[in-house]
Structure 1
Amino acid sequence: MKHENLRVAAIDLGTNSFHMIIVEESPQKGIVEIDRVKDMICIGRGSISTKMLDEEAMQSGIAALKNFLVLASHHGVASENVIAFATSAIREAKNSGDFIRRVKEETGLKIKIISGKEEAEFIYYGVRNAVKIGNSSDLLFDIGGGSVEFVLVNQKGLQLLESRKIGVARMCERFVASEPIASHDIKMLEQYFTAEMVTAVEKASQLKVTRAIASSGTAQNIARMIQSMKGSQSETSLNNSTFTRTEFQALYQAILPLGAAERKKITGLDEKRVDLIVPGLILVDMIFRLFNLTEIVISDSALREGMVLHYLKHRLQSGTKRSSDDDLDIRRESVYELAFRCGWTRNHAEHVARLSLQLFDKLALLHHLDESYRELLEYASLLHNIGAFIAISSHHKHSQYIILNGELRGFSPLETEIIAHVARYHRKSPPTERHAAYSMLPSASKRAVDLLSGILRLANGLERGHRQNVQKINVQVTANTIILHLKTRFEPDIEIWAADLLKPWLEKLLNKSIILEAL
């Protein structure tokens, strides 16, 4: 049973900020983000010690939710498809019931308070849809205002779901008494964090955790500041980007001695996180130390996205591809979703991908690229023509732009760059140092782009007629030549003609002549 496109709004009522994400789910395009909005309400202001929500903060929160609902309505979200979850500050407040009642009376919105463990589980759903969970054990952590969620996961599934009351607003209110923070307060925070993370640290040690994935505004602010220190001012998504322990330490040493006025001048730091970043930095430092990590990966999906995925899974179980999480491949799924959004010619693209992979495998002893590049070649092949969505003229350049800006999930920034460059060079001029973006790639990535684009050019030529004529390629290698024996359905005159035009770049790279023959 098929379902129509569905629009959903998910609202996360956090301790520091209220967020809303609006998405549309469709069978082929998957989940497409329509809009997102954030308002730093600081509903937890003062409530961490008093256990009472501040009246002014409640009024601001209700006003923000009214605006959120108007926006959702304008985007065509039905009221029954607006979901709202409240976390730490509201969860713990004695007058949370009063706030939830007032929201219902004034806006019609029904808020569900979720437990810390539920929050951790939703965060896991969100993160795993943005960052590919590895083959080894991973630590996921989300730094909120009131709590921090820890998730441990490996190939067998979830191993730990834990929520600890060590959020940055809570820690700031409790331990930060001076500007800049005093060394005594730093030590107190370090000791407190250590005590609260004991269970997660011990379990992570047993599982031999090798990587951490961080979500939340605090983690993204840290990543942005590190980028700024390295001279990058990129406004692109941080998803799947990383920062090392060494890079973090440089930021930590630079920021911690500063007062609030000086921190406000730091590029990449949200103005409303000027105070909260201090306990945030100390927490991340302790996570690096206690979990013995060398780098942290950033996820730009967390609670809100997890809420949406959980909602859609349960609402659309009948006939939806998302009814099972067991075979989730976010990289492939993301590539296909982007391709469908661009109105791709699926049969052609998939056939070019099949031919590219045959060539990659048969030429392995000549190109010496490892298996990870095979996957990137397949995705570049699937997406090589999506630029035609903008215009046929220069569509290879348009394909590159769309891939770079299409927010593919599960790929590191460098992997996305390689896919985009390989698609860029599937026709017209081959890679050259005169092209600024190519010239900035690491040398190993340039070599990969050279070889993969050479393979894709040849495969694209062999599918020139868009008729899936070439079914199989057998390869014979001699001292000076590569002979491609083509098994075809029809006479392959047009395919051989096109491939002959596109083969020179690969011939140059492999230092052999390529001869094409029909079987």
Structure 2
Amino acid sequence: MTSDALRVAAVDLGTNSFHMVIIEECREKGIVEIDRVKDMICIGRGSISTKMLDEKAMQSGIVALRNFLVLASQHGVAREHVIAFATSAIREAKNQDEFIRRVKDETGLKVKVISGKEEAEFIYYGVRNAVKLGSSCDLIFDIGGGSVEFVIADSHGVKLLESRKIGVARMFERFVLNDPISEHEIKLLEQFFAAELVSAAEKAVELGVKRGIASSGTAENIARMIRSLQGVESDVSLNNSIFTRREFNRLYRMVLPLRSSERRRMTGLDEKRVDLIVPGLILFDTIFRTFGLEEIVLSDSALREGMVLHYLQQHYDAGQNSDAPDIRRESVYELGFRCNWNRDHSEHVAMLCLQFFDQLIALHGLEQRYRELLEYAALLHNIGTFVSISSHHKHSQYIIMNGDLRGFSPSEKEIIGHVARYHRKSPPSEKHVQYSQLKQRDRNAVDVLSGILRIANGLERGHRQNIRELRLACNPDMITIGLRSHHEPDIEIWAAELLKSWLEAVLHRTIVFEPLHDA
């Protein structure tokens, strides 16, 4: 840990499980996750109806928290930088004060019980740091054991914060008596959920909500089960991944008729969520129908991450600004710094790439979203040298696709990684398995973007930021690239000549370079 870095641990005492995330924050590398741990304590077991925390569950919770604190200490987190919040089950329990006091006496940890609206606000902070919010409003929801938080927000801020007592543990305890669940119980749950969603649904209609963003273990379990049905590896980050209403409906129809013993054998389902997944699926189905959603985006950041970001902002003027951050750009720069990149070189290559893209748009016809991905690929094209110089283009691709870039869908990370992969050595080829598995339009984009990056990288061969402007002229046979430079661009033209053949093949034009001299 560097001298300017700060490590913080955030503990979430939820109804079903206790979680802790440990992060390190420093100015250049941003917020980096160090470790995370979960223990399915089920502190809310039986308490939803009795409003009393179970003695055995309280003892298990204290043991888990003691272990969390040992782990945090081993990771170099000072005790004053461990924050802990309790949510639905504990805030509703009549004996919450007793539990909070025992935690303090036996572990030294001070636990703050937060309201439902505070919980929703922290979830918003966490989600907006993982999923890019746009100009139109999104429905963010987090399904807990005791409560479900709803947030409607866009890039400018929050429009609605709600917490409803319809968490999966609460609903299972109240409504589900049969295994498998009966049709009557399904109807009761659907009616109860629909009644609780009325105000959020009315606000969503008013604001034109079209997209849902889900966080929580229930959402992640559903996504992993869907991927398993599709034969897709599930042991990967699901952040910004999407599942559609049709994909969900297939899983829903398959799982609801099963007994718990049959669900337990399903891949992707956490063993301790075998029962809770049933009301979870019914709630997701109700949300899809009530809000008219066609797809759900997953966020792997929520309450805990929001706790950390809020803590940093309040105490160290770090983390979140009042406006929604540009999480994609921030994340790209943070990954670059973590890999000890050459920032000046990378930014100059990116600048040249964007000039190429803009001046060739009539020829390549790519959508603007590919322009942004080209810039990020250019910024990260050389980070593989952090592993080794040899084959660093392949290392760059691996790091980009596995480096936890925030705000990007899996397919966007694949495009960025492929463009970086092909900035040198062999160009794209159907013989490369990952490239061949891209959608056709994305393969076409990778072809163009990698060709641009190859030449832009050549024009920065000396790492001296010599080329300051490009002037492109096209005719049916040729692309002339005029170069304005600080010094004679001999080395840059030599390098670019060696790398131009792929873009020539893709655009069916000969490329020539001409130095331009100021009058």
Normalised to the residue count of structure 1, the TM-score between the two structures is 0.98
Tell me how far apart the structure 1 counterparts of residues 59 and 344 of structure 2 sit (CA, whole Å).
Answer: 55
Provide the residue aligned with 2:370 in structure 1: 373
Tell me how far apart the structure 2 counterparts of residues 516 and 353 of structure 1 sit (CA, whole Å).
Answer: 19
The one-letter amino acid paired with 1:31 is I
Name the SS of the counterpart of 2:94 in structure 1: coil
Provide the residue aligned with 1:497 in structure 2: 494
Deviation at 1:116, TM superposition (A): 0.1
Provide the residue aligned with 1:63 in structure 2: 63
Q: How does 1:473-512 map to 2 (within 5 A)?
A: 473-512=470-509
Name the SS of the counterpart of 2:9 in structure 1: strand
Deviation at 1:155, TM superposition (A): 4.3
Provide the residue aligned with 1:281 in structure 2: 281
Provide the residue aligned with 2:113 in structure 1: 113
C-alpha contact 2:135 2:156 (8 A) present in aligned 1: no
Provide the residue aligned with 2:193 in structure 1: 193
Provide the residue aligned with 1:421 in structure 2: 418
Provide the residue aligned with 1:354 in structure 2: 351
The one-letter amino acid paired with 1:84 is A
Deviation at 1:157, TM superposition (A): 1.7
Provide the residue aligned with 1:214 in structure 2: 214
1:434 matches 2:404: no
Q: Which moved more, 1:477-486 or 1:64-73?
A: 477-486
Q: How does 1:28-47 map to 2 (within 5 A)?
A: 28-47=28-47
C-alpha contact 2:45 2:57 (8 A) present in aligned 1: yes
Provide the residue aligned with 2:166 in structure 1: 166
Provide the residue aligned with 2:8 in structure 1: 8
1:389 matches 2:386: yes
Provide the residue aligned with 2:270 in structure 1: 270
Tell me how far apart the structure 1 counterparts of residues 506 and 454 of structure 2 sit (CA, whole Å).
Answer: 13
Deviation at 1:154, TM superposition (A): 2.6
The one-letter amino acid paired with 1:50 is T
Deviation at 1:385, TM superposition (A): 0.1
Q: How does 1:334-345 map to 2 (within 5 A)?
A: 334-345=331-342
C-alpha contact 1:22 1:72 (8 A) present in aligned 2: yes
The one-letter amino acid paired with 2:158 is L
Deviation at 1:354, TM superposition (A): 0.2
The one-letter amino acid paired with 1:243 is F
Change (3 A) 1:466 1:156: closer
1:80 matches 2:77: no
C-alpha contact 2:156 2:323 (8 A) present in aligned 1: no
Measured on the aligned residues, the alpha-carbon RMSD in Å equals 1.0
Unaligned runs of 5+ in 2: none
Tell me how far apart the structure 1 counterparts of residues 275 and 321 of structure 2 sit (CA, whole Å).
Answer: 42
The one-letter amino acid paired with 1:199 is S
C-alpha contact 1:140 1:214 (8 A) present in aligned 2: yes
Provide the residue aligned with 1:236 in structure 2: 236
Tell me how far apart the structure 1 counterparts of residues 129 and 235 of structure 2 sit (CA, whole Å).
Answer: 21
The one-letter amino acid paired with 2:370 is Y
C-alpha contact 2:156 2:324 (8 A) present in aligned 1: no
Deviation at 1:3, TM superposition (A): 8.5
1:51 matches 2:80: no
Provide the residue aligned with 1:454 in structure 2: 451
C-alpha contact 2:245 2:288 (8 A) present in aligned 1: yes
Provide the residue aligned with 1:205 in structure 2: 205
Tell me how far apart the structure 2 counterparts of residues 134 and 116 of structure 1 sit (CA, whole Å).
Answer: 25
Change (3 A) 1:49 1:210: same
| Structure 1: 4+ residue segments shifted above 4 A | none
Provide the residue aligned with 1:291 in structure 2: 291
The one-letter amino acid paired with 1:24 is E
Change (3 A) 1:323 1:275: closer
After superposition, what is the alpha-carbon deviation per residue over 1:275-305, rounded to whole angstroms, capped at 9, x for unaligned?
Answer: 0000000000000000000000000000000
Normalised to the residue count of structure 2, the TM-score between the two structures is 0.98
Aligned match for 1:464, one of 450, 461, 464: 461
The one-letter amino acid paired with 2:504 is E
After superposition, what is the alpha-carbon deviation per residue over 1:153-209, rounded to whole angstroms, capped at 9, x for unaligned?
Answer: 134421100000000000000000000000000000000001111100110011110
Provide the residue aligned with 1:333 in structure 2: 330
Provide the residue aligned with 1:311 in structure 2: 311
The one-letter amino acid paired with 1:509 is V
Tell me how far apart the structure 2 counterparts of residues 188 and 6 of structure 1 sit (CA, whole Å).
Answer: 49
